[in-house]
Amino acid sequence: MNGRETPSKRFVIRGGRVIDPARNFDRTEDIGVDGDRISAASESDAAPAAGEIDARGLIVCPGLIDMHVHLREPGAEHKETIETGTGAAVAGGFTAVACMPNTKPAIDNIATLQHVIERARQIGVCRVHPIGAITVNRQGTEVVDMTALKQHGAVAFSDDGDGVENDSVMREAFARARERDAAIIQHCEYKAISAGGVMHKGRVSDALGLPGLDPRSEEDMIERDIALVRETGARYHVAHISTARAVELVRRAKADGLPVTTEVCPHHLLLTDDACSEQDPNTKMHPPLRTAEDVAACRRGFLDGTIDCIATDHAPHTAEEKARGFLKAPPGIVGLETALALTCEALSEDGSIDWCGLIRSMTVAPASVLGVTTPSLTPTAPADITLIDPRKSWRIAPETFHGKTRNTPFGGRDVVGRAVATIVGGRLRHQLADEAHRFERLSPIN
């Protein structure tokens, strides 16, 4: 991106463990960058004054993609902007994000869509793929003009924040999305079932005397949607899956050969509703933190391939908004700067991680759902690259976040694994300050 503004530059990322899921590649190799593209390392090497990044001990992989982010612009710039949100993204190792359309106005029209695309292009920190709304103003009654929105750059459709409850509206949405080969990303929740709930309905909500969100509100909508997928053949993606039965429904749909995919958030792989015991508003989110059984089912679902993608549901809210108390605070937590480490923690078994599987779920898998270019480190591919130190120990310090807000229940947690550098279109957009020695031989080109 913005590659034409400056002369072409070359550098080599040397000595890293290259993991490139698109070609099942996992071994030590040098990667060349020439301008905004990947090149053969030998070619970049030969160029005079080529720079160099020392990647020894690091994983070098295609740039991570977060397919579920709330950038809040336009309409709620006090929470986040495209500039701060994409800054948080590259700090977390993401070279691309897909942003949800629950902005004000909603991304249900071409003008708002173009505004988001244009702002992201001007800022140029990372790639932004806007998701269009399924229905006009996300009200669940009238399906948007998907043809026009897709032509102008919407990558998929979602009313995230709300599920589309009306059966015939949803049937029509699926039929239209099918014609345009766009995925429907559903926030699965029947409000009549979940109404008023502030946390998972169960033992902990009963003990606290708080109104609970019944897991059936999520599961019943997935069930309805899968029936409609069977009917229409549309591509269907379940957003932020959180219950054991939901995972089982997706597992069966996949076994039936239906075009169904899903994502899970790091917090649903790590925390249970017990975390809500102190009524910390930073443990309030939709879907809510569930039971230990649900967490275990989500982990199993990820490991057996039922769950395709890791996504953050990055949902910034200000300290003032979260200070309204557990009952009144808006649901949601930020995730871009913690996702990689938290996912490592959730998926490490006996201290080892299937890095190829983890990276696939944050690169190739979300790209395939969104229908964007397959991330890869093969020559001529866009030079979107993430360098990860898989052994880096650090403490999550919300006060250092690049995003505007600090709403996370993970502050103070000791974690392992961190993005050391994020390269977008051949440009270094993030580098970890205490790893500066790795970039000494990178001439001042970025």
Which tokens go with 284?
């309030």
Residue 225 catalytic? no
- Between CA 10 and CA 423 the distance in angstroms is 13
Q: Which two tokens stand for residue 204?
A: 């902990």
Q: Taking CB under 5 A as the rule, does residue 70 contact Zn ion?
A: no
Out of 187, 200, 284, 360, point to the residue binding Zn ion (CB under 5 A).
Answer: 187
Whose Cβ is closer to Zn ion: residue 129's or residue 418's?
129
Shortest distance (Å) from residue 306 CB to Zn ion:
19
Of the candidate spans 31-39, 135-143, 178-186, 187-195, the one that interacts with Zn ion by CB under 5 A turns out to be: 187-195
Query: Do residues 347 and 365 make contact, with C-beta atoms less than 8 angstroms apart?
Result: no
Total residues at interface with Zn ion (CB under 5 A): 2
User: In 286-426, at which residue ranges do the beta strands (DSSP E only) sit?
Assistant: 309-310, 385-395, 414-424
Q: Shortest gap between Cβ of 436 and Zn ion (angstroms)? A: 38
Please identify, among the stretches 180-188, 261-269, 426-434, 437-445, the one whose residues bind Zn ion according to the rule CB under 5 A: 180-188
93-122 residues in contact with Zn ion (CB under 5 A) are none
Q: Does 317 bind Zn ion (CB under 5 A)?
A: no
- Shorter beta-carbon distance to Zn ion: residue 187 or 402: 187
Closest CB to Zn ion belongs to which residue?
Answer: 187
Residues 344-383, one symbol each (x = binds Zn ion by CB under 5 A, - = not), give ----------------------------------------
Site for Zn ion (CB under 5 A): which residue of 20, 52, 160, 225? 160
- When asked if residue 237 is in the footprint of Zn ion (CB under 5 A), the reply is no
What count of other Cβ atoms lies within 10 Å of the Cβ of residue 234?
Answer: 26
Nearest approach in angstroms of CB 318 to Zn ion is 19
Please give the radius of gyration of the chain, using alpha carbons only, rounded to the nearest integer.
Answer: 21
Q: Judged by CB, which is closer to Zn ion: 187, or 427?
A: 187
**In whole angstroms, how far apart are CA 435 and each of 19, 395, 432?**
21, 16, 5
Question: Coil, strand or helix: which one is 264?
Answer: strand
Looking at the chain, how many residues does it have?
446
Binding flag, residue 17, Zn ion (CB under 5 A): no
**Residue 308 in contact with Zn ion, rule: CB under 5 A:** no
* Neighbour-count burial for 270-297, b at 16+ CB within 10 Å, e otherwise: bbbbebbeeeebbbbbbbbbbbeebbeb
What is the DSSP annotation of 383-423? --EEEEEEEEEEE--GGG-SSS----TTTT-EEEEEEEEEE
Tokens 């169904």 belong to 260
Tell me the CB-side half-sphere exposure of residue 98, using CA atoms within 13 A: 31
Shortest separation between residue 312's beta carbon and Zn ion, angstroms: 11
What's the min distance (Å) between Cβ of 158 and Zn ion? Answer: 8
* CB-nearer residue toward Zn ion: 127 or 187: 187
> Closest CB to Zn ion among 9 and 187?
187
Local structure of residue 434 (DSSP, 8 states): G
Residue number, 60 or 71, with CB nearest to Zn ion: 71
Residues 197, 213: Cα–Cα separation, whole Å = 4
Between CA 263 and CA 324 the distance in angstroms is 30
Q: Kindly state the smallest distance separating residue 267's Cβ from Zn ion, in Å.
A: 13
Q: Exactly one of 34, 66, 313, 384 is catalytic; name it.
A: 313
Return residues touching Zn ion (CB under 5 A).
160, 187
The residues that are catalytic are 313
